Structure 1
Amino acid sequence: MTPSTTFAGRTLALFGLGGSGLATALSLQAGGARVVACDDNPERMAAAEAEGVATADLRGADWAEFAALLLAPGVPFTHPEPHWTVKRAASAGVPVIGDIELFCRERATTAPDAPFVAITGTNGKSTTTALIAHVLRETGHDVQMGGNIGTAILSLAPPAPGRVHVIEMSSFQIDLTPTLKPSVGVLLNITPDHLDRHGDMANYAGIKERLIASSDHAVIGVDDDYTRAIAARHAGPLTRVHVGETAPGPGILARHGVLIDGCTEPPSPVADLTGIPSLRGSHNWQNAGIAYAVARALGVAPDAFAQALRSFPGLPHRMEEVGRRGSVLFINDSKATNADSTEKALAAFPRVHWILGGKPKEGGIASLAPYFPRIAHAYLIGAASDAFAATLEGHAPVSRCGTLEAAVAQAAEDAAHEPEAVVLLSPACASYDQFRSFEDRGDQFRAMVRALPGLVPTGG
């Protein structure tokens, strides 16, 4: 745990007692603050009380006594309208902050030179965060990893000289961190997302840019219009990362799966990613290029970086290699809950037996039309089946399987008759029509695949 000492002796309101909210309350109390916590869920209130956290209905509180409101990142801050606690805080002149802001204040007070890497972007944040942490650990660093990727930042060990915090940050978290100032700030990409929470793309992109603008050293993937514009505006130290044939100036280039350091003269190859299953696809080449730029900024030698890459296991449900049966490869990409994410998976293979469907997102899969020629067969599950069948009509053979179990069985049978076939679960949909979460969907897919006769597991 990181005790939050910068509010010692003061009283704070806290709303949202999920994992990060409870960790925040305990961190503040450990640092000498008094916390009055609230949540709409009575079970979370009871769990907090069992941990010794004082709870109350903040509607009846005297807001003049609060030094700040700690807001969970999932609670609306500005759009579609501010949460009632945010309105009460504004009326009382109480600042609204989040748990990463507490970490930043603690770092500035106790260990201002402690390395702090903050990663944001629309897609690829978790894989890139895990990859950076893996490389740094493999090259001898003391690493703490968390934030939006899973472990609440205040549950990690505190900032200290030589200890690197590698933290994934959502736009919600950036919004609640006014003193954010990472040693290395990373921006992967920007595509439309969470517009219900930010109003429009200009606001969304502006929040992402704040992380970069406050960084001592910025690392930006420059493969979309928004990030290219942000890189062009950036005045401080900057490393650009690009996937393509030629680099748009000095920076890191991923060309056909080979990372090239263009910050040296002459440019030098660093690592060949094509033989690393956990980094399959051009989107993962960008992730690896970003990781190299960060590692380079922190003093990791190119050969040590290349060696560390080879043992990266990847993350569950993100282009996860589950196993092989004969020449058929099974891939779990359950985290692909929209068409933009699924595009990365389809682009990674020349021909696929594609399992997709679930609770559809706006726009469906029409944007994936350029990849329809790669589909050997589509196996539809869940609520999106009729809509997706209509989109795919005339472009690929389609089976309405209904359930994931039926889709796995039919895809495995069909793929067995093709050389070097790929069975890909990349649903392009939310999971909630049939599963508790995308993790539950991916776990069930993995279990079904590994139950197939003759399956040889190849993943973690």
Structure 2
Amino acid sequence: MIPVTAFAGKTVAVFGLARTGLAAARALIAGGTRVALWDDKPASRDAAVAEGFELTDISRSDWAGYDALMLSPGVPLTHPEPHWTVAKANSSGVEILGDIELFARTVNASPEHRRPRIIAITGTNGKSTTTALIGHICAEAGRDVRVGGNIGQGVLSLDDMHGGAVYVLELSSYQLDLTTSLRADVSIILNISPDHLERHGTMANYVAAKRRILLNQGKGDTAVIGVDDEWCSQICTEITAANRRTTVAISASKTIGRGVYALDGLLYDSTGERTAEVCDLKRARSLPGRHNWQNAAAAYAAVRGIGIDAGQARRALMSFPGLAHRMETVAILGKVRFVNDSKATNADAARQALSSYPKVYWIAGGQPKSGGIEDLADLFPRVVRAYLIGEAGEAFAGTLKGKADAVRCGDLDTAVQAAFRDASASGREAIVLLSPACASFDQFADFEARGDAFRAAVQALAATHSTGDAA
């Protein structure tokens, strides 16, 4: 745990008692802060009490007594409308911040010898894989690395800092909205495409939230920016012109005069006087497809930015074991490979998986995002049949009509069984791909729970199938 002393002797309201909120409460208490904890959900309040926390109904409190509101990132800040805690804080002049900001203030207040290196990663897609990949490279290079933020552990639950530590942090747009003083040694924006607009209101607001990861960087810091989409390309142009930091452009689709790029799986480093071939990413078992080549380019550029040797980075790229729920092979039954891509919660993320296979039996659906799957029409010829689940089933069936065979299955178990039956009947090697292009909240607590349910359904099939290998 990282004790937070920025509010020692003061009182902070903490709203949202899931992983982030409780971790922040522990860190604040450890740093000498009085906390007032609350959540709108009775189950979350009960869980906090079961862990020994005392609760305060802050809806009835005098907010003049609070020095800050620690807001969990999932709570609406501005759209579709401010949460009632946000309204109370604003009307009382109470500062609103998140756990990443608490971490940043703790780092900023630390003496130089205790300040760690920080690599911060954001983007619409690929954040988790890139974060895990950077963590793997750092560990293989012998660094004392801690990985967290929007992946795995909340940042304040990670081991306390020292000067030799490296924090590799995945940051969502929700977290960045609540962060003002973080200065990362390396900041990464992988890509930007429309997402979470119901939360940010406009694309401009969403881009601005992502861009906050670059705040406070200066001489000696590195910004790694993807240039394969128009929003990131514009950001890269603007910050390069500002000349405040070292900027490294990355691409998985074109040659870059000064940056890191991948062409047909070959990774190149053109940040020095000569362009050098780093490695053939097609040999990296857990980094298939162009989107993963961009992730690899970003990870390589990031670790070079904190001084890790190119050879160490290359070897670690080859040994990366992959990330759960992101193009993860969970089993092979006969000639059928089951791929768990539950992390694909929007169409752009699903595109990355669909683009990686010539033919798929595609399980899709859930709580739909704006735009549905219309942007994937060019990939529909790869879909042998689609198995539709959740709230999006009817709309997806309409989009696919006349373009790809589709059947409405309703739930995941039914879809897995139907897809396996059809794929097995083909007599050929086949891919059953869960890449939902939707949020999970209509049927599951989160994308991890959806991916775990997919794995369980496949394992149930394996129990009755004589030639299966579970991964």
TM superposition score category, shorter chain reference: over 0.9
Q: In the aligned structure 1, how far is the partner of 2:449 from the partner of 2:207?
A: 31
Q: 1:92 to 1:403 in 2, by over 3 A?
A: closer
The answer to whether 1:381 aligns with 2:389 is yes
Question: What is the CA deviation profile of residues 401-459 of structure 1, one whole-angstrom value per residue up to 9, with x for unaligned ones?
Answer: 44433433333343343543222121223334444443233223223334332444364
Q: Gaps (5+ residues) in structure 2? A: none
Superposition map of 1:171-250 within 5 A = 171-215=173-217, 216-234=221-239, 235=242, 236-247=245-256, 249-250=257-258
* SS of the residue 1:274 aligns to: helix
Q: 2:267·2:280 contact (CA, 8 Å) conserved in 1?
A: yes
CA offset at residue 397 of structure 1?
3.0
Deviating more after overlay: 178-187 vs 408-417: 408-417
Among 336, 339, 346, the residue aligned to 1:331 = 339
Q: 1:455 to 1:14 in 2, by over 3 A?
A: same
Q: 1:330·1:423 contact (CA, 8 Å) conserved in 2?
A: yes
Paired amino acid for 1:223: D
Q: In the aligned structure 1, how far is the partner of 2:182 from the partner of 2:306?
A: 19
CA offset at residue 100 of structure 1?
1.2
* Count of matched residue positions in the alignment of Structure 1 and Structure 2: 458
Q: 1:363 to 1:28 in 2, by over 3 A?
A: same
Paired amino acid for 1:225: E
Superposition map of 1:56-67 within 5 A = 56-67=56-67
Give the equivalent residue in structure 2 for 1:87: 87
Q: 2:390·2:411 contact (CA, 8 Å) conserved in 1?
A: yes
Q: In the aligned structure 2, how far is the partner of 1:370 from the partner of 1:132?
A: 32
Paired amino acid for 1:421: A
Deviating more after overlay: 66-75 vs 282-291: 66-75
Q: In the aligned structure 1, how far is the partner of 2:372 from the partner of 2:170?
A: 28
CA offset at residue 156 of structure 1?
0.8
The answer to whether 1:253 aligns with 2:257 is no
CA offset at residue 125 of structure 1?
1.1
Q: In the aligned structure 2, how far is the partner of 1:176 from the partner of 1:421?
A: 44
Q: 2:195·2:346 contact (CA, 8 Å) conserved in 1?
A: no
Q: In the aligned structure 2, how far is the partner of 1:51 from the partner of 1:404?
A: 33
Q: In the aligned structure 2, how far is the partner of 1:424 from the partner of 1:32?
A: 49
* SS of the residue 2:128 aligns to: helix
Paired amino acid for 1:447: A
Deviating more after overlay: 99-108 vs 353-362: 353-362
Among 309, 330, 337, the residue aligned to 1:322 = 330
Q: In the aligned structure 1, how far is the partner of 2:41 from the partner of 2:444?
A: 22
Among 357, 372, 387, the residue aligned to 2:380 = 372
Question: What is the CA deviation profile of residues 32-61 of structure 1, one whole-angstrom value per residue up to 9, with x for unaligned ones?
Answer: 111122221234334434545443222332
Q: 1:298 to 1:31 in 2, by over 3 A?
A: same
* SS of the residue 2:45 aligns to: helix
Superposition map of 1:95-134 within 5 A = 95-112=95-112, 113-134=115-136
TM-score (norm 2): 0.91
Q: 1:435 to 1:81 in 2, by over 3 A?
A: closer
CA offset at residue 383 of structure 1?
3.9
The answer to whether 1:17 aligns with 2:17 is yes
Q: In the aligned structure 2, how far is the partner of 1:39 from the partner of 1:349?
A: 44
CA offset at residue 352 of structure 1?
1.5
Question: What is the CA deviation profile of residues 358-412 of structure 1, one whole-angstrom value per residue up to 9, with x for unaligned ones?
Answer: 3333322221110112122223334433333332233233334444334333333
Q: 2:266·2:279 contact (CA, 8 Å) conserved in 1?
A: yes
Give the equivalent residue in structure 1 for 2:151: 149
Q: 1:449·1:455 contact (CA, 8 Å) conserved in 2?
A: no
Q: In the aligned structure 2, how far is the partner of 1:297 from the partner of 1:101?
A: 23
Give the equivalent residue in structure 1 for 2:469: 457
Give the equivalent residue in structure 2 for 1:6: 6
* SS of the residue 2:106 aligns to: helix
TM-align CA RMSD: 2.1
Q: 2:180·2:215 contact (CA, 8 Å) conserved in 1?
A: no
Q: 1:88 to 1:379 in 2, by over 3 A?
A: closer
* SS of the residue 1:144 aligns to: strand
Paired amino acid for 1:91: S
Give the equivalent residue in structure 2 for 1:311: 319
CA offset at residue 333 of structure 1?
1.1
Give the equivalent residue in structure 2 for 1:41: 41
* SS of the residue 1:252 aligns to: strand
Give the equivalent residue in structure 2 for 1:274: 282
Deviating more after overlay: 216-225 vs 439-448: 439-448
Among 133, 136, 139, the residue aligned to 1:137 = 139
Q: In the aligned structure 1, how far is the partner of 2:33 from the partner of 2:417?
A: 56
Q: 1:128 to 1:56 in 2, by over 3 A?
A: same
Q: 1:178 to 1:433 in 2, by over 3 A?
A: closer
Q: 1:378 to 1:195 in 2, by over 3 A?
A: closer
* SS of the residue 2:195 aligns to: coil
Q: In the aligned structure 1, how far is the partner of 2:46 from the partner of 2:413?
A: 38
Question: What is the CA deviation profile of residues 196-220 of structure 1, one whole-angstrom value per residue up to 9, with x for unaligned ones?
Answer: 2222111111121121243321111
Give the equivalent residue in structure 1 for 2:433: 424
Paired amino acid for 1:428: A
Q: In the aligned structure 2, how far is the partner of 1:31 from the partner of 1:436?
A: 32
Q: In the aligned structure 2, how far is the partner of 1:429 from the partner of 1:387?
A: 12
Question: What is the CA deviation profile of residues 252-278 of structure 1, one whole-angstrom value per residue up to 9, with x for unaligned ones?
Answer: 001111111011232111121112232
Paired amino acid for 2:432: V
Paired amino acid for 1:316: A
